[in-house]
């Protein structure tokens, strides 16, 4: 029996439906509580979406517009007060994010990829054109632009001339108002470089806040790069994407008190009270557990307008997903019952238990509009949990179980264009943790981990009847999944010497035969003990050469000898082919340029291909001088 939620007399007007929803999405998430059903209730002028929990109670999910400043302040104050227990200094609890370290700013709209389309020289997970997604490495085939991890906020430009490559220029910005500055990523379109920048600024003696800035540079003269425009808004960077020529930016602003409101402005000046986003552009989700505003804006990077186009959703988490024309915001409702039980049992380091995740579909067309909303059980672990195909959104979520160890089970939901649940699989992979989700056409490949690593294959061909086709198990766990062809799947992940270990003991590369999806089989594996690679946590670090059929990943070896107390470190790149499912190493290259001295820390972050060369990119950071330099080395591409 459906029960309507009681109306809050202090609540503002609920978002009205301005037009019929024409675009839909599919979401795949790796987290959550069992979702037994999802019904939609459409009232006059009000969008109401109902979540049917496992005990058959119906809870309305709404997005509501704030009425006035007083209501905004009251809402923020109450949520801050109630959320204090989750983030106290004495608590061992984490935010409800998974151990999967794939960066949020890596785009993953891969629903239409074929095995051939996936093989490109820049990114393993992105279907979109390289210029429409941000990254830390870009090339126009003449120059290589690299944001190095140890550079202290610098983008270095190198000429792509093989063994004669050289440093050309460096992009760095100083801001006297800033305590710290950091480039997050950037775009290159034509003769413009658009950078995503993040700064921490002191508000008072004890409080600092984070702002995100979009800054566009003219790179037509590579030796004299000039800033031509800035846009700033409150909050830490979550994600961005260029859609139909417009840059859409998503940041999450954590409110320190009821007066700490989201702001946005063009120009390079510091944000002030005059830049607060108007109240009629502020909204909130229900039953929120976190005092955050998700700020969504459309940024003019051409300098043709200085009018801010931004809206903000209070109660959001920091997880978002961009599709081709929409943004999906998540908002968590924590399970106080499980949280209190964990406190009573003094449970070890564990994610905060999430009862439900509210999804808010945000249309990005003529205007930014919150179109529809719904709740699903559990939590979504990162943007790779989501996938959009046609009029459906697929979501993988994880549920925290009420047992002695608070383990998890996994769910898969299929939602229609109005975010109504039309298909689901709940409570599979009990006691496992999701490490990777990859959608290819109408198939989802899910990697989980506990004592072993199951590859689970889910058929999504029929939206109303998703079903598990088959699974196979290996030791260790995988985090990056890439199709070699329609019969073979490649996995790059972590080798663990002991079962049920959370510590990585090396790099593990595995191939699977998925020609019979009901009976997937491991074909081959290669283990590299004491190695690590950025491809283990960043899918874009896997370089794919479709012409030669080569795969290249940066590799760092580190081993401490207890006998003589020496630490051995070396850097290089591993190039391999996959032939008839077998992994054949083509070149195991050890660099002579990437070396670490006693007072510096060397990193090898990425590889990029230009012409017949593979370029290794990293940095050498000096702790004593608190500065770093980008490193580059050209290696002849293996045949």
- Which residue, among 449, 429, 567, 443, has the nearest Cα to 501 in the 3D structure? 449
Match 């007399």 to its residue by tokens.
9
Look at residue 319 and tell me if it is in a domain. Answer: yes
Please report whether residue 404 resides in a domain: yes
CA-based nearest residue to 356, from 91, 40, 57, 4: 57
pLDDT of residue 38: 31
How many domains does the chain divide into? Answer: 1
Is residue 384, in this structure, part of any structural domain at all? yes
Q: Which range in 194-203, 338-347, 426-435, 593-602 is most confidently predicted, on average pLDDT?
A: 194-203
**Cβ count within 10 A of residue 585:** 13
Residue 131's SS3 state is: helix
Query: What's the pLDDT tens digit per position in 575-589?
Result: 999 999 999 999 999
Q: Do 141 and 612 contact (CB within 8 A), yes or no?
A: no
Examine residue 119 and state whether it is found in any structural domain, yes or no. no
Mean pLDDT in residue range 164-173? 88
- Residue 317 counted as domain residue: yes
Q: What are φ and ψ of residue 115, in 5° steps?
A: -65, -30
pLDDT higher than threshold 80 for residue 396: yes
Asked if residue 585 belongs to a domain, the reply is no
Q: Do the domain assignments include residue 480?
A: no
Over the chain, what is the mean pLDDT?
78
Q: With a cut of 50, say whether residue 418 has pLDDT above it.
A: yes
Query: 196: domain range?
Result: 1-103+190-428
Lowest mean pLDDT among 144-148, 254-258, 484-488, 497-501: 497-501
Residue 92: its pLDDT value, please?
A: 36
pLDDT band at 595 (very low <50, low <70, confident <90, very high): confident
Dist. CA 485–CA 414, nearest whole Å: 26
* Euclidean distance between CA atoms 145 and 597, whole angstroms: 25
**Residue 638, φ and ψ in degrees, nearest 5:** -75, 150
- Could you tell me if residue 153 is inside a domain? no
Three-state SS annotation for 182-194:
EEEEEEEECCEEE
76 bridge partner residues: none
pLDDT at 461: 96
pLDDT tens-digit series, residues 104-133 = 223 333 333 332 223 233 344 443 456 788
Task: Indicate the pLDDT class of residue 202, thresholds 50, 70 and 90.
Answer: confident
Among 242-256, 365-379, 390-404, whose mean pLDDT is lowest? 390-404
Distances (CA, A) of 361 to 36, 62, 257, 391, 598: 21, 12, 27, 13, 51
């Amino acid at each position: 029996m459906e029960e309507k939620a009681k109306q809050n007399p202090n609540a503002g007007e609920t978002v009205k439906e301005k037009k019929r929803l024409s675009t839909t999405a599919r979401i795949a998430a790796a987290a959550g509580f069992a979702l037994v059903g999802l019904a939609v209730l459409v009232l006059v002028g009000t969008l109401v979406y109902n979540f049917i929990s496992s005990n058959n109670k119906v809870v309305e999910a709404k997005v509501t517009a704030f009425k006035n400043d007083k209501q905004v302040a009251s809402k923020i104050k109450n949520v801050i007060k109630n959320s204090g227990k989750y983030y106290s200094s004495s608590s061992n609890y984490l935010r409800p994010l998974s151990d999967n370290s794939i960066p949020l700013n890596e785009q993953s709209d891969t629903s239409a990829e074929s095995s051939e389309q996936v093989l490109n020289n820049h990114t393993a997970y992105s279907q979109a054109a390289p210029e429409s997604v941000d990254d830390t490495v870009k090339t126009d085939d003449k120059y290589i632009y690299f944001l190095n991890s140890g550079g202290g906020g610098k983008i270095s430009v190198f000429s792509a001339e093989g063994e004669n490559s050289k440093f050309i220029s460096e992009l760095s910005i100083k801001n006297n108002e800033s305590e710290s500055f950091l480039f997050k990523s950037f775009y290159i379109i034509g003769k413009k470089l658009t950078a995503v920048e993040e700064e921490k600024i002191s508000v008072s003696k004890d409080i600092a806040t984070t702002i995100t800035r979009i800054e566009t540079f003219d790179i037509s003269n590579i030796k004299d790069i000039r800033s031509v425009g800035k846009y700033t808004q409150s909050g830490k960077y979550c994600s961005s994407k260029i859609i139909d020529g417009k840059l859409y930016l998503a940041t999450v602003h954590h409110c320190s008190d009821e007066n700490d409101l989201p702001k946005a402005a063009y120009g390079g000046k510091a944000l002030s009270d005059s830049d607060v986003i108007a109240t009629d552009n502020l909204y909130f989700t229900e039953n929120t557990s976190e005092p955050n505003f998700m700020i969504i804006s459309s940024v003019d990077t051409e300098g043709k307008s200085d009018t801010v186009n931004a809206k903000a959703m209070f109660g959001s988490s920091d997880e978002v997903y961009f599709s081709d024309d929409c943004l999906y915001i998540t908002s968590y409702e924590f399970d106080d019952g499980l949280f209190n039980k964990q406190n009573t049992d003094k449970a070890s380091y564990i994610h905060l238990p999430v009862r439900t995740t509210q999804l808010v579909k945000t249309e990005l067309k003529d205007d930014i509009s919150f179109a529809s909303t719904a709740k699903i059980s559990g939590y979504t672990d990162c943007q790779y949990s989501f996938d959009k195909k046609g009029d459906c959104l697929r979501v993988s979520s994880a549920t925290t179980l009420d047992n002695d160890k608070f383990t998890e089970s996994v769910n898969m939901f299929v939602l229609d264009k109005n975010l109504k649940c039309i298909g689901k699989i709940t409570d599979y992979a009990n006691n496992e943790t999701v490490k990777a989700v990859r959608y290819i056409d109408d198939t989802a490949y899910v990697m989980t981990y506990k004592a072993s690593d199951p590859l689970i294959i889910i058929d999504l061909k029929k939206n109303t009847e998703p079903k598990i086709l088959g699974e196979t198990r290996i030791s260790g766990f995988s985090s990056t999944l890439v199709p070699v062809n329609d019969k073979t799947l490649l996995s790059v992940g972590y080798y663990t010497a002991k079962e049920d270990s959370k510590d990585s003991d090396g790099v593990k590369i595995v191939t699977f035969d998925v020609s019979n999806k009901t009976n997937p089989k491991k074909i081959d594996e290669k283990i590299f003990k004491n190695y690590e690679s950025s491809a283990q946590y960043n899918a874009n670090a896997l370089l794919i050469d479709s012409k030669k059929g080569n795969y290249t990943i940066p590799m760092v070896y580190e081993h401490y000898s207890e006998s003589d107390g020496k630490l051995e470190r070396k850097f290089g790149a591993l190039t391999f082919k996959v032939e008839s499912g077998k992994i054949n190493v083509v070149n195991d290259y050890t660099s002579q340029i990437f070396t670490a001295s006693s007072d510096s820390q060397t990193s090898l972050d990425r590889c990029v291909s230009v012409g017949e060369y593979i370029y290794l990119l990293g940095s050498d950071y000096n702790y004593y001088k608190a500065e770093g330099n980008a490193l580059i080395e050209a290696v002849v591409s293996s045949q």
